[in-house]
Structure 1
Amino acid sequence: MASELCKTISVARLEKHKNLFLNYRNLHHFPLELLKDEGLQHLERLYMKRNSLTTLPENLAQKLPNLVELYLHSNNIVVVPEEVGDLKELQTLDISTNRLLALPERLHLCLSLQYLTVDRNRLWSVPRHLCQLPSLNELSMAGNRLASLPLDLGRSRELQYVYVDNNIQLKGLPSYLYNKVVGCSGCGIPIQVSEVRLQTFSSGQLTVFLPAEVKAIGTENDRVLPLQEQAMRCLYHTYHRLWKDLNFLSLISLPRSLLELLHCPLGHCHRCSKPMFTFVYPKLFPLRETPMAGLHQGRTTIGFVAYCCSAQCLRAFDLLS
């Protein structure tokens, strides 16, 4: 079997094949022959379905730089290396029915990616950067352990199909998906919107100017943003107002995690598009109130969750306006 595999790969290299079928080969390791010397520079489609692979090589993109389609369905892969993000020509990635606990953060650098299938894995979350994929048209994550989705998922006009069936802990969908084709039979559990109260504190003689919402503390409509959220929004607006001043960020002493957050907000308000960093006001809309109801044959158990930037926005938000 090993000699037959080497022969198949050697012929593909010699004849500059664009397609290589290695399905049902009982492979436990990624074939080193594929990575030999310069690799297979002409290969565009690699099929490795139903093997027993557990890992992928970190130099995959270096040796197979022109891959357009990669099929890894039904293996035992636990981790996808970050260097998958170097596959600049990749349009289709199918890594369903494996053992993935997470997707690589650098996957959003695969700028040509159009179809991503990660069904039947063990995913708990989805990288926020995935929303930045400019060409992503179809995203399938059915049969995982997802409890939430990135707030901006669906903000891109290119993304038209999202499948999240059988994620039994998924409590709702971002409202940007309300006009997309969605599969979500595992959704529908009502969400609980918790009240957030800002505790009083002493800061010596320092004068801190807080939003007018602070005056609502102690009332029935007590909804005040945490100080960290207010500070991040202030820094964000100041940064973008003074973006030409290259020395601006050097004047700010922030932990690296907050600096990264400053460049990549948690999400954007669905009503006014203001950036949000650490805190949102969610509002649940039953499916029957959205244009998608007809596509689900009258089902009303699935909810769309809109995210607002303030209590005032929450009260004024109307998904259909």
Structure 2
Amino acid sequence: MASELHEAIFMAKRERHKNLFLNYRNLNIFPVELLRDEGMQFLERLFMKRNSLTTLPENLAQKLPNLIELYLHSNNIVIIPQAIGNLAKLQSLDLSDNALQVICPEIGQLRSLRHLRLANNQLKFLPQELGDLRELETLDVSVNLLRTLPERLHQCLSLQCLTADRNLLHCLPRLLCLLPDLSELSMAANCLTSLPLDLGRCMELQFVFVDNNAHLKGLPSYLYNKVIGCSGCGLAAQISDLKQLCLTLGDVTVPLPSEVKAIGSETDRVLPLEELACRVLHAAHSWTSKDVRFLTPFLLPKSLLDVVRSPLGHCHRCSQPMFTIVYPKLFPLRETALAGVHKRTTVSFVAYCCSSYCLRTFDLQG
């Protein structure tokens, strides 16, 4: 086995191969032949799946500076060295099926990275620096121990596919709804109790899979015309978080997202003054931010500015930003045209509106 390994590396060096396959070699340390002398400056793709590696060498980027793809699926890697951030040309990194408990912040330095696979590890959190990966298109963090996703993940402006099945997630950062290119989102088999109000508002998002979240009873009405997977949702008998406001229609009770602190009804005729003020400030802030004549767009306390910049969501009828109060309406899935498609679920669609007028006139199928 050792002689075959040496021969494969020797041939790759002599013939300046761009691809090197070292899968199924029973390796427990990184081959030193790859790192000797000048290394393999020409190598672009390295396949080392199903070995027994526990770590990577610190000088990997120095010896393999032109590496574009690195596949380390199914090893025993416990830690990734900080020097991983020096692989400036790396576009695809597969670390699935290892023993990772922590991902170093330096992974955010991989500015060319497009595909990152971290599924089936032991990760309890992800570094905020993932938000620096502006070229990232695919992120798979399934089968870990994650309770939250990084708040800065919405800064991955190229992200198209996000998969986080079989974790311990209770909610999603609402700013994920801002991702302009996100087309597929999979959060099956977590502990979700609600979804962001604006999820599905972006036209690019076409596939949303939240199957087997037993406490998830409400889907934003934006998802009505999407391809959704919700089998096994809403089957829990009790609401898990009593701090969440709930909406009830007959025998259907749906917990709302925890950030929703007040709800209105069809009989309300006047908006609360606090909500009106936030809407006016938001409109003014948006206007001054776009006008180059205003060098300092808006002078507000940071706490208030954060509220104005990040509404709870947008009205599902007229797209008006909402800040302190929403006017929700339930549409049990069993009473919609999708009832025959989704049978093993008791979820409802929730329309979040900005006023009693929009609430009364909202049409789920319109």
Aligned counterpart, 2:74: 24
Q: Given the superposition, is the C-alpha separation of residues 319 and 59 from structure 1 closer, same or farther in structure 2, using an over 3 Å criterion?
A: same
- Does residue 130 (structure 1) correspond to residue 180 (structure 2)? The answer is no
Q: CA deviation at 1:8?
A: 6.3
5+ residue gaps, structure 2: 1-26, 41-45, 47-62, 236-251
Q: Given the superposition, is the C-alpha separation of residues 7 and 280 from structure 1 closer, same or farther in structure 2, using an over 3 Å criterion?
A: farther
Which fold has the larger relative contact order, with Cα–Cα distance below 8 Å and residues 6 or more apart in sequence? Answer: 1
What TM-score, normalized by structure 1, do the two folds share? 0.81
The worse-fitting range, judged by mean Cα deviation, of 241-250 and 284-293 is 241-250
The number of equivalent residue pairs is 293
Aligned counterpart, 1:231: 277
Q: Given the superposition, is the C-alpha separation of residues 222 and 193 from structure 1 closer, same or farther in structure 2, using an over 3 Å criterion?
A: farther
Q: Given the superposition, is the C-alpha separation of residues 8 and 192 from structure 1 closer, same or farther in structure 2, using an over 3 Å criterion?
A: same
Q: CA deviation at 1:238?
A: 3.7
Aligned counterpart, 2:363: 318
Check the 8 A contact 2:221/2:316 in 1, yes or no: yes
Q: How does 1:1-321 map to 2 (within 5 A)?
A: 1=27, 3-4=29-30, 12=46, 13-14=63-64, 16-31=66-81, 34-35=84-85, 39-62=86-109, 64-188=110-234, 190-191=252-253, 221-222=267-268, 225-240=271-286, 244=291, 246=294, 249-250=298-299, 253-254=300-301, 256-296=302-342, 301-321=346-366
Q: Given the superposition, is the C-alpha separation of residues 61 and 115 from structure 1 closer, same or farther in structure 2, using an over 3 Å criterion?
A: same
Check the 8 A contact 1:233/1:275 in 2, yes or no: yes
Q: CA deviation at 1:96?
A: 0.6
Instruction: Determine the C-alpha separation between the residues in 2 that align with 1:118 and 1:6.
Output: 35
Instruction: Determine the C-alpha separation between the residues in 2 that align with 1:125 and 1:141.
Output: 10
Partner SS for 2:307: helix
Partner SS for 1:313: helix
Residue 265 of structure 1 aligns with an amino acid whose one-letter code is: P
Q: Given the superposition, is the C-alpha separation of residues 197 and 171 from structure 1 closer, same or farther in structure 2, using an over 3 Å criterion?
A: closer
Partner SS for 1:284: strand
Check the 8 A contact 2:83/2:106 in 1, yes or no: no
What TM-score, normalized by structure 2, do the two folds share? 0.71
Instruction: Determine the C-alpha separation between the residues in 1 that align with 2:101 and 2:359.
Output: 46
Instruction: Determine the C-alpha separation between the residues in 1 that align with 2:173 and 2:108.
Output: 21
Aligned counterpart, 1:209: none
Once the two structures are superposed, residues 236-276 of structure 1 have per-residue CA deviations (whole angstroms, 9 ceiling, x without a partner) of: 234445553636622xx44x222112112111111111110
5+ residue gaps, structure 1: 199-212
Aligned counterpart, 2:20: none
Instruction: Determine the C-alpha separation between the residues in 2 that align with 1:77 and 1:193.
Output: 28
Check the 8 A contact 1:290/1:320 in 2, yes or no: no
Residue 358 of structure 2 aligns with an amino acid whose one-letter code is: C
Identity, in percent, stands at 52
Partner SS for 2:145: coil
Over the aligned positions, Cα root-mean-square deviation in angstroms equals: 3.0
Q: CA deviation at 1:33?
A: 5.8
Once the two structures are superposed, residues 21-78 of structure 1 have per-residue CA deviations (whole angstroms, 9 ceiling, x without a partner) of: 212221111145634xxx222322211111111111111131x322211111111111
Check the 8 A contact 1:137/1:161 in 2, yes or no: yes
Instruction: Determine the C-alpha separation between the residues in 2 that align with 1:55 and 1:193.
Output: 33
Check the 8 A contact 1:145/1:169 in 2, yes or no: yes
Instruction: Determine the C-alpha separation between the residues in 2 that align with 1:7 and 1:88.
Output: 34
Aligned counterpart, 2:245: none
Once the two structures are superposed, residues 207-261 of structure 1 have per-residue CA deviations (whole angstroms, 9 ceiling, x without a partner) of: xxxxxx9xx9xxx9357544422321232234445553636622xx44x222112
Residue 302 of structure 1 aligns with an amino acid whose one-letter code is: V
Q: Given the superposition, is the C-alpha separation of residues 309 and 5 from structure 1 closer, same or farther in structure 2, using an over 3 Å criterion?
A: farther
Q: CA deviation at 1:134?
A: 0.9
Check the 8 A contact 1:265/1:276 in 2, yes or no: yes
Partner SS for 1:305: strand
